Structure 1
């Protein structure tokens, strides 16, 4: 990747900059042996220590490295304690302390880099500076490949701002709504960019129930997510292993997994019953069926939205049964390789369904339907001894709940 610095001095032109050396070495890491990688990383750390502040601004193109890591699902738990991470933190603190003339572009660049490496907890002041900057980039309508990449990275950065950050709607609501509506009309964003826009918005929904009508009825999340999932399901090559995929194929799979994750957050927060939700759950079931033989990671993702939808009553129990969600979870819970989180999701699904089937309906016709659904469910679970299978997991479920209480929230 070529690195450009608009502020180059004559001295910089005389030879390759430290940042260019760093970038070149990073690009070579993938093709090195483990011992060679360690040696290069040590040398790269040395280069970081030599860099002056101007060079550091150039190396903020590390956000592109972060972008590549996101595409490959690479986790970077040690970034905060690295020399570069510590330097970013120091510069951020210095800029935020300034009474005036803050370098907002520098802050946004550093913030983008931190987001892509999942580093640090941003202050409310930093969020108020960076979110409008990122949205300004994301609002660009040019369709050149370079501009699309800029928009994609800006939206990907925004999507990394987790659901636990409460953000004033004035910072984002008008702009993110415009981005989504423009995409629905023109379809000019990449799949990853569009998913990222929705993920940022759905995360805001977690803390702000007032967004429900906008997300569900005005922008039709359920319909849009179902449409994207259906298309991605057709495009993903389910027979290829991860290491065999091309860059574009891997990107399609990542977008699909992130859509499923976003659906889980939506169902965790949503309270409105909507026919679009039924179609969305059917698409998630189709993904499970397509992925079950070769894509374990995607299957694990699929259990989240099914659990959350059953808990928040966004569809009727008979929709879960007729849409094959019940069959899907029954098959999943019998897998010998089931991990603890999948056990939690599957058992949670059945506990939610069981509670709902025990509740009497005030409406006479609804009560008749409930009893018929309950009878059908019991027959299905007794057919092949599913009740014994589920009971055998309760010990693992209790152990998981005690040890990992913080992990039960997606």
Structure 2
């Protein structure tokens, strides 16, 4: 223990390759007391926290998981320390989107499954805290968990844990982990509403009133619910009109955006700011799934204008130093033009039309950005030119088209379009955008 914690430990760790680093540290654990192990695992967890997705995948191979299994079975690694290590590995895997097959291909997977089954089958003396820990280890590590198993044995216990309304830091972290684990379940799992709906609604509504969840916990609760839309279509009205997904997502994104210094690059960010950047990326994934799963529903409302404004602001702020975020929200805005003519007015009011025209003036544009920006404009016109027998809708669409053409004229869009005419890949611009009303 003293050897691990001396002043040369950092240099010694840096000399070990990424592939072997944790195997070496795990070997050091077997000769320590439980308290000494806790200290080493805390050090290990701190290092895991600053790893990126690639480093996590490189480090935690099936061999490392098998080593953890061997140490635990031989009582060389105390059970609570095993849980603490596995939960943190899983937490970082999911929050940084670095899932791989290494846990699935290890012997440790079946051990964890067996432990969960044993605990759930107890009629008396069930340790629910231990069960929740095991379920979190499993759901955050397994790339392809068994559907029936997790629906029957994991989801109810994790949501019960997440219903905690305590605001102390330890409990908030436990709720965050539980919801992150739940959010990692596949959208293809057809969970019955009685397994989750009332609980997840209560979690979301309570946070809306009392702000008791962390950034990641609240996003995870929404992500789990959005995934259920694939099979439970009646949830759409609840998500849109009762829980106000678009309004809440806009509020979260607006606050997160304020907390990030966009002049910094990713490697320059402190740990807390990196978490907020990761949360912004996860919201993009949640909303992409939402728009994909609800495209056929006519439930667009005024909540979306604020969301569009947030997307535009994020594109502008993230363009230079956070290209992943820029591209995620750039393409989310573009996809909105493919959904319905109902949302074109909101795209206009939210500043998206102005933004996509402005984007074409940026230097050194890639083909994909030029193409998407041009198609954004043409799609808005195309949607508004769709036939409608409703005179009120006709007048509304004509007014929106006039505003859009005013913006195009002010921004000199015809000159922009002309500059691309010699490129056959952009011949669609003349046919639609420059048509008279």
TM-score (normalizing by structure 2) = 0.72
Contact 1:22 1:47 in 2 (8 A): no
Matched, 1:291 2:318: yes
Q: Deviation of residue 186 (structure 1)? A: 0.9
- Per-residue CA distance 1:6-36 (angstroms, 9 max, x = gap): xxxxxx999436976983784486699x9xx
2:83 to 55, 60, 79: 60
Match of 1:199 in 2: 223
Q: Secondary structure at the match of 1:273?
A: coil
Helix, strand or coil: the match of 2:337? helix
For 2:432, the equivalent position in structure 1 comes to: none
Superposition pairs of residues 163-312 of structure 1, within 5 angstroms: 163-270=187-294, 271=297, 272-312=299-339
Kindly tell me: are residues 305 and 47 of structure 1, through their superposed partners in 2, closer, same or farther at Cα, counting changes over 3 Å?
closer
Provide Cα deviations, 1:271-298, integer angstroms capped at 9, x if missing partner. Answer: 2021101221121111111211211011
Q: Deviation string for 1:11-63 (max 9, x for gaps)?
A: x999436976983784486699x9xx999987886454343086585423211
Deviations 1:95-128 (A, max 9, x none): 6599954989676544422432352232223222
Q: Does residue 1:89 correspond to 2:110, yes or no? A: yes
Corresponding residue number in structure 2 for 1:77: 100
Partner SS state of residue 162, structure 1: coil
Which has the higher mean CA deviation after the structures are superposed, 303-312 or 355-364?
303-312
The structure-2 alpha-carbon separation of the partners of 1:387 and 1:309, relative to structure 1 and needing over 3 Å to count, comes to farther
Name the counterpart of 2:41.
23
Q: Distance in 2 between matches of 1:14 and 1:179?
A: 43
Task: Give the aligned partner of residue 143 of structure 2.
Answer: 119
- CA displacement at 1:177 relative to structure 2: 0.6
Q: Deviations over 1:120-140 (max 9, x none)?
A: 232223222101111111011
- Using the TM superposition, give the Cα deviation of residue 307 of structure 1 relative to its aligned residue in structure 2, in angstroms: 3.7
| Compared CA separation, residues 276 and 337, structure 1 to 2 (3 A) | same
**Compared with structure 1, are the counterparts of its residues 368 and 256 closer, same or farther at alpha carbon in structure 2 (3 Å cutoff)?**
same
**Please, what is the CA RMSD of the aligned residues?**
4.1
Matching residue of 2:351: 324
How many angstroms apart in 2 are the aligned matches of 1:284 and 1:109? 36
Q: What's the offset of the Cα at 1:314?
A: 7.8
User: How big is the shift at 1:88?
Assistant: 1.1
2: CA distance between counterparts of 1:354 and 1:251?
A: 39
Residues 65 and 108 in structure 2, CA contact (< 8 A), matched pair in contact too:
no
Going from structure 1 to structure 2, the CA distance change for 1:178 and 1:361 (only over 3 Å counts) comes to same
- Unmatched runs of 5 consecutive residues or more in structure 1: 1-11, 395-410
**Long gaps (5+) in structure 2:** 1-28, 428-437
Residue 366 (structure 1) aligned with residue 379 (structure 2) = no
Q: Secondary structure at the match of 2:154?
A: helix
Are the structure 2 counterparts of residues 359 and 43 from structure 1 closer, same or farther at C-alpha, using a change threshold of 3 Å? closer
Q: Is the contact between residue 179 and residue 220 of structure 2 (CA under 8 Å) also seen in structure 1?
A: yes
CA 1:126–1:78 in structure 2 vs 1: closer, same or farther (change >3 Å)?
closer
- Distance in 2, matches of 1:65 and 1:355, equals 48
Q: What displacement does 1:311 show?
A: 2.7
For the structure 1 residues 101 and 225, does the alpha-carbon distance in structure 2 shift closer, same or farther, using more than 3 Å as the test? same
User: What's the CA shift for 1:366?
Assistant: 2.6
- How much has 1:351 moved relative to structure 2? 6.7
Report the number of matched residues: 377
Does the 8 Å CA contact 1:268/1:309 hold for their aligned counterparts?
Answer: no
| CA–CA separation in structure 1 for the residues paired with 2:138 and 2:372 | 31
73-82 or 246-255, larger mean C-alpha shift: 73-82
SS at match of 1:317: helix
CA distance in 2 between counterparts of 1:269 and 1:96 reads 33
CA distance in 2, matches of 1:314, 1:159: 32
Q: State the Cα distance separating 1:162 from its structure 2 match.
A: 2.8
User: 2 CA distance for matches of 1:157 and 1:182?
Assistant: 20
Counterpart of 2:420? 388
Which whole-Å CA distance do the structure 1 matches of 2:59 and 2:219 have between them?
Answer: 38
* Alpha-carbon distance, 1:202 to partner: 1.3
Name the structure 2 match of 1:49. 70
Report how far residue 182 of structure 1 moved: 0.9
> Does the CA contact (< 8 Å) of 1:96 and 1:126 recur in 2?
no
